[in-house]
């Protein structure tokens, strides 16, 4: 089954574009493949972060000052 693709225009600064082209040649992958993989990974990380927020939704909220005091008390700072 073929994956549906969409064509888009993305503007990269010249240094980033050069790095992508070099990586493309070195890995025998297209720039599109590299960008798709990077976007997939970024979205996956976002999904993991959102899941972690959901898991911790019921935790007690503390102020920044209280957190610093706890870190000092526990010898972490």
User: How is the chain split into domains, by residue range?
Assistant: 32-77
In the chain, % of residues over pLDDT 70: 97
**How would you label 25-64 residue by residue, b for 16+ Cβ within 10 Å and e otherwise?**
eeeeeeeeebeeeeeeeeeeeeeeeeeeeeeeeeeeeeee
Over 70: is that where the pLDDT of 70 sits? yes
Provide the pLDDT for residue 2. Answer: 64
What mean pLDDT do residues 60-70 have? 94
Q: How far apart are CA 12 and CA 27, in angstroms?
A: 20
Q: The whole model's pTM is what?
A: 0.65
What pLDDT digit, counting tens, does each position of 3-44 carry? 799 999 999 999 999 999 999 999 999 999 999 999 999 999
């Amino acid at each position: 089954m073929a994956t549906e693709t969409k064509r888009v225009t993305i503007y990269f600064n010249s240094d980033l574009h050069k790095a992508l082209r070099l990586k493309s040649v070195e890995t025998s992958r297209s720039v599109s493949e590299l960008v798709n993989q990077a976007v997939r990974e970024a979205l996956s990380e976002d999904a993991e972060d959102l899941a972690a927020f959901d898991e911790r939704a019921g935790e007690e909220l503390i102020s920044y000052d209280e957190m610093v005091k706890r870190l000092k008390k526990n010898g972490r700072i």
